[in-house]
Structures are given as structure tokens and as C-alpha cells.
Amino acid sequence: MRWILILAFLPMPLFARTGLIQKFDHQFHETKVFSQNKIKCSDCHNLEESRDQKMTPLEALARTTFKKSIKQICHDCHQGEKFPTAPKACYTCHDTQDRMLNIKPLNHQNAVWKSQHATQARADSSQCVNCHSVNQCSKCHSARNPVTNTNHSRNYKYFHSIEARMSPQKCDTCHNKSYCVRCHLGGVK
């Protein structure tokens, strides 16, 4: 409960600036995480803790509550190797569409990203799985939009045999043999 005393020192506009702070359960972390892992208030906050656990505000506290950005503080535990049992999933905190959009990578904000991400995904899919599951990839890539034809170019239906012969495993990512048979026997238009 020593964290309640800190609130008197904190510049509230800085403390409450982000919605993620409202999501953060300090009391849970205090009882289940901080004490067990010997994490002191001064590890994150601009405070100095004496041996008798008295808190003294540092000069920087007048400007900002935290020693690092909130992102860095959270990621030190939730993305790093320091605490392997800490939840790593982004949606633990970024649990709304707005909060997810706040962390959307800059390259995803490019207008052509959706149609041109394949090269980067093939080069380093480890970056993709930081936010996306393989199921999400399959779900998106198997969803066919007959109007925009988002998975293949408009004429793909007429020229796909070349690619299918060169690299049939690419087709298997989204399609199975029964799909091909149905289409080639006239079942899919």
C-alpha cells in the first residue's frame, strides 16, 4: 500500500495522460509482482527510496512521473527476458481497437501496406507474430472478396495454373485439393 503515498507527489496530468495507465492495476502488481521480485517504486518512478523505505521525490518528478516512457517500463517486464512468466500478449493492455491503433507500426499506416506486405512477411515473419497469429494470416488470406479480389489479381483465375505448377505448396496455404476439384469441375464461379 506504500504506492498510495506516492500519488500525492505525482503530477496528475502526466500520470493520467494515457488510457493505459487507467488499465494498469497497481495494487495487483504491488501484491503479486513487485514485492515477490523485489521491484522498488524507484525502479519506475522518479522517487528515491531510502533503506527505511521512505520515499523522497527526485527533481525530475516535477516534470514527469516516470523515469522512462510508460512503453519502456511496461516492455521491460512484459516483452523482455527479465520476467519470463509475465504476459507477453499486446492485448493484455491494448484491449480496445483505439489502444491497438496507438501501437500500429508506421509501415502499416502506408496506404499500400495491405497489398504489399508479403515481401516483408516472408523476409522476417517473426515481426508479424509479435501482433498477429498464424490463424489471423490464414483467416485474412483465405477470405475472398469477389468485388475487390484482394487475394489475387483480377485475372489470376486465368493464369494461376502457371504459379500452381511452379509452386503448389503456395496454393496449399489457403486451398485444399477439393477446392481445386470443385472449381475445375464447374462448382465455383
pLDDT one-digit tens code per residue, 137-155? 777 766 655 555 466 766 7
DSSP state at residue 92: G
pLDDT one-digit tens code per residue, 79-88? 888 888 888 8
The per-residue pLDDT for 145 is 58
Count of CB atoms within 10 A of residue 65's CB? 23
pLDDT of 38 > 50? The answer is yes
pLDDT of 168 > 60? The answer is yes
DSSP state at residue 173: T
pLDDT one-digit tens code per residue, 58-102? 888 888 888 888 888 888 888 888 888 888 887 788 877 777 777
What CA–CA distance (Å, rounded) separates 27 from 22? 12
Alpha-helical segments (H) within the chain = 2-7, 12-15, 19-23, 26-29, 41-44, 70-78, 97-102, 113-116, 118-123, 125-128, 134-142, 156-166, 168-172, 177-184
The per-residue pLDDT for 154 is 67
The per-residue pLDDT for 15 is 40
Burial string for 19-56 (b: 16+ CB within 10 Å, else e) reads: ebeeeeeeeebbeeebeeeebebbebbbbeeeeeeebe
In order, the DSSP letters of 13-63 are HHHTSSHHHHH--HHHHIIIIITTTT--HHHHBSEEE-TT--EEE-GGGGT
pLDDT of 7 > 60? The answer is no
Stated pTM of the model: 0.49
Whether the CB-CB separation of 5 and 26 falls below 8 Å is answered with no
Q: How far is CA 9 from the centre of its chain?
A: 32
